[in-house]
Amino acid sequence: MAEIRVENLHKAFGEFVAVRDSNFTVADGEFFVMLGPSGCGKTTTLRMIAGLELPTSGRILLGGDDVTFNRAAARDIAFVFQLFALYPHMNVRKNIGFPLKCQGMPASEIRTRVEETARFLRIDHLLNQPVSRLAGGDRQRVALGRAIVRRPMAFLMDEPLGTLDTEFRDLMVRELRELHLRINATTVYVTHDQLEAMAMADKIAVMNRGVIEQFATPQEIYDQPATMFVADFIGSPPMNFLPFRSGLRAGAVSVRVNGADITVPKLVEDLAETELALGVRPEHIRFDDHSRLRGTVFGAEYLGTTQIVTVTTEHGPVKARLPADVPARPGETVGLALRPERLSIFDRGSGRALRTALHEGRRHG
Ligand code: ATP
């Protein structure tokens, strides 16, 4: 079993803490994505799992065994650095077999393994071709073949699609996800790209300044962001925040934002008066003449079937995703209705989301 378990993992470089007290478990066969901006500690975490960096404290368990102080080579993990750097002077067979040759595996066994892998990826007819003559999709499959030929317990991938153009990347995202569904190997994948993460992950850890802000499924991360950072990092455009100041009582089902009463998911905690923010995704806003939440249309970005309309309000600019045929003329005054059951409320001091029926509902199915 290739469960990866990280317990109180901590990494400091001198005074600087790159990874702070991380705890998570990647279940056997899960595709796990570490997502966050540059410098948040993703690569450092991955390198500790790989055995390329020693933690300052904490433990790493692979399939239940404590591997924290094992050398990289003693961990049955494949670290995929650059998925696309094939060796141009070698043919397909030699490219795929290269990792096994490095391990010192006998030639006859390499031959069998390479042929099995090539059949699996449906490139067995290309084995003797030079890689320089292959089409893009086949080159990617050769690269994947080289990664999976070792049959490790787990794969670690650090921004493997980093340098690809968008079209190629979308294709590879699909290929990688499909491959994962077929071989079901535990995978830890690092990216700063939310679209890659949302498209591939079973679970995502969103990291910020060395801390995991949320560890959950893509849907939970999107619908119930645990912090303002997560809400802002995920989604395009990201969640809107309407700042307000208030105390809150458990059981309340509305909040007062600058004179407008807004229905929200039922609160499950009391809070003394403090600075708060109402969080609403652009697709949960519509125009409604009767709403007391008002603003002026600033402009609209046409996206075919939808449009992103920017409305200037006293809370700052608000972006709404509306059907493309909704009139949105710059300068026009509009009312904004927010979909009550999808709103989040954040404590602006800590950035944390308050617990509401939104979370309780999901938790119970
Ligand atoms: P990126 O995508 O830019 O690599 P990341 O989230 O993977 O970002 P890390 O590479 O883990 O971030 O780095 C986290 C922080 O730790 C960064 O500020 C980096 O400068 C610092 N850091 C990483 N390795 C070292 C090192 N060997 N010595 C000192 N600081 C380091």
Residue 237, preceding peptide bond in cis (omega within 30° of 0): yes
Of 243 and 361, more confident:
243
pLDDT at 333: 96
Ligand 1 centroid to Cα of residue 47, in Å, is 11
d(CA 331, CA 109): 72
pLDDT at 144: 82
Q: What is the CATH number of domain 4-223?
A: 3.40.50.300
d(CA 194, CA 153): 26
Q: Is the pLDDT of residue 283 over 90?
A: yes
Task: Give the confidence band of 76 by pLDDT, cuts at 50, 70, 90.
Answer: confident
Ligand 1 centroid to Cα of residue 148, in Å, is 27
Ligand 1 centroid to Cα of residue 42, in Å, is 8
Task: Give the confidence band of 365 by pLDDT, cuts at 50, 70, 90.
Answer: very low
244-273 average pLDDT score:
91
- Check if 18 has its Cβ closer than 6 Å to any atom of ligand 1: yes
Confidence (pTM):
0.88
Task: Give per-residue pLDDT as tens, 43-57.
Answer: 999 999 999 999 999
pLDDT at 86: 85
Task: Give the confidence band of 332 by pLDDT, cuts at 50, 70, 90.
Answer: very high
Report residue 58: phi and psi, to 5°. 105, 175
Ligand 1 atom nearest to 190, measured from its CA: 7
pLDDT at 339: 94
Q: Which of 38, 192, 206, 229 to mutate to test the pocket of ligand 1 (most atoms within 8 A of CB)?
A: 38
Mean pLDDT of the chain: 91
Torsion of the alpha carbons at 212, 216, 219 and 225, rounded to the nearest 10: -40
Ligand 1 centroid to Cα of residue 233, in Å, is 19
Ligand 1 centroid to Cα of residue 173, in Å, is 25
User: Which of 60-74, 161-175, 180-194, 330-344 has the lowest average pLDDT?
Assistant: 161-175
pLDDT at 82: 59
pLDDT at 208: 97
pLDDT at 163: 66
Q: Is the pLDDT of residue 362 over 70?
A: no
Domain 228-364: CATH architecture, name and number where available: Beta Barrel (2.40)
- Check if 44 has its Cβ closer than 6 Å to any atom of ligand 1: yes
- Domain extent listing, the chain: 4-223, 228-364
